Chain A
Amino acid sequence: MYVIVAGGGKVGANVARSLLRMGSEVTLIEQRRDRFERLEDEFEHQVHRGDATEIYVLERAGITRPPEILLALTGDDEDNMVICQLAKEKYGVPKVIARVNDPRNQAHFDLMGISPTVCATSSIMALVEHEVPEHDLIHLLELRKENLEIVEVQIDRDSPVAGKRVESLKLPEGARLISVMRNGHAEIAVGATALEAGDQVLAILEPGKEDELRKVLLKR
C-alpha cells in the first residue's frame, strides 16, 4: 500500500513509522526545516521537505500515482482541508483521513465532504461524557454521513415521562426513541412502551437536538 502522510509532527511521524513497520510504502511531508532535518535521520528519502498544500510539493511526493490513502495530519485545520480537497478532487486519491485540531472546525470539514476525520479533543470529551456518571445524556455514536447520532438517557424519578407511554411523548422533530433497557433487559421502544424511573433509553436524533430531547425526557 502506498500512503502519503502530510505533516511530520508527533502524530504524523508516529503514524508514518507504524505504517512502515506494517510494510507500507510511505512518503512523509514536513515543512519546518528543523523538524525535517531530525526526521531525515530516521526516514531518509521517505521524508520530503515542503508545504503539502503546494501542488508541486504533493506531485514531488508522488500524489499523481495516486496513493491508496492520504493522511492530512498537520497542526493546521485549513491546511488539512485544502490538502484533502486537492488529493480527492484533483488527483483522485480514493481515501483521505484528516486530523481536526480545533473541534469548532468540524463543521467546515463536513461541509467540504472530508471524512473520516479524527479529533483528539472530541474523542476525549466523548470519553469524559461516558465516564462521568452525572452526565444525563451520553453520546454513544455519531453517524456523520447520516447526520444523526445515538445517545443514552437515564430516566430518573423526577423525570416527567416516568410512567408515560412512548406514543404520548412530544418528542422534538428529528428525534426517536430506539430502545428501553430495564433490569438488564433491553426492548425496542414502540408506542405502547411505558417508561419507568431507572430506565436507560437509547434515542436517535439530529445533532443539535440534545437540549430539546433532554427537556422532554428530563425537564432540564
Chain B
Amino acid sequence: MKALIIGCGRVGSTIALQLQKEDWDVTVVDENEDALSRLGENWPGAFLVGHGMDADLLRAAGIEEADAVVVATDGDNTNIVIGQVAQKRFGVECTVIRLLDPARADFYSARGMRVVCPTKTAIETLGEAVRACAVPIREVTA
C-alpha cells in the first residue's frame, strides 16, 4: 500500500513513521527541507521538498498510484484545496485532511471530505476530563 503525506510537522511526520512501520510505502512532501529531520536519521521512504499545491510535484510524489493521502500542513485552507485536488483531480478516494477550525471541518465533512478536526477532539476530551474531576465537596472532619 502506498501513502502520500503532505505536511511534515508533528502530525504528518508521526503518521508517516507509523505507516512506514506497518509496511506502507510512504512518501512525504514538505515545503521546508529541515522537516526531514522529524523523520529520524534513516528515513527509508521518499521525501520531496515543495508545495503541495503544485500538481507536478504531487505527480512526482506518486499521487496517481497512492492508496491514501494525508494532508496535514499548517494551513486549513491549503489543506482544503490540496485535499480536493487529491480527491477530485487524482481520484484518491482515501484522502484525509486535518482542519483546525471546527466550522470549516463541519462544512467540508458534509461535502464528502474525510476531515479530522483535532480542535473538536480537544474540546470533547477536555470537557470530559473536567467533568471527571468534579468530585463532590466533602465536609472536613476535625
Residues of A within 8 A of B (CB): 53-56, 76-79, 81-82, 85-86, 89-90, 104-105, 107-108, 111-112
Contacts and interface: CB of A to CB of B under 8 A. Distances in A.
29 contacts: A53-B77, A54-B103, A55-B107, A77-B53, A77-B81, A78-B53, A78-B75, A78-B77, A78-B78, A78-B80, A78-B81, A79-B77, A81-B77, A81-B81, A82-B77, A82-B80, A86-B104, A86-B107, A104-B53, A104-B54, A105-B53, A107-B89, A108-B53, A108-B81, A108-B84, A108-B85, A111-B88, A111-B89, A112-B81
B31 interface: no
A89 B108 CA distance: 10
The bracket for how many chain B residues form the interface is 10 to 19
A55 B108 CA distance: 12
Interface of B: 53-55, 75-78, 80-81, 84-85, 88-89, 101, 103-104, 107, 111
Interface class of chain A by DSSP:
helix
A58 to B, nearest CB: 10
Contacts of B75: 78
Contacts of B77: 53, 76, 78-79, 81-82
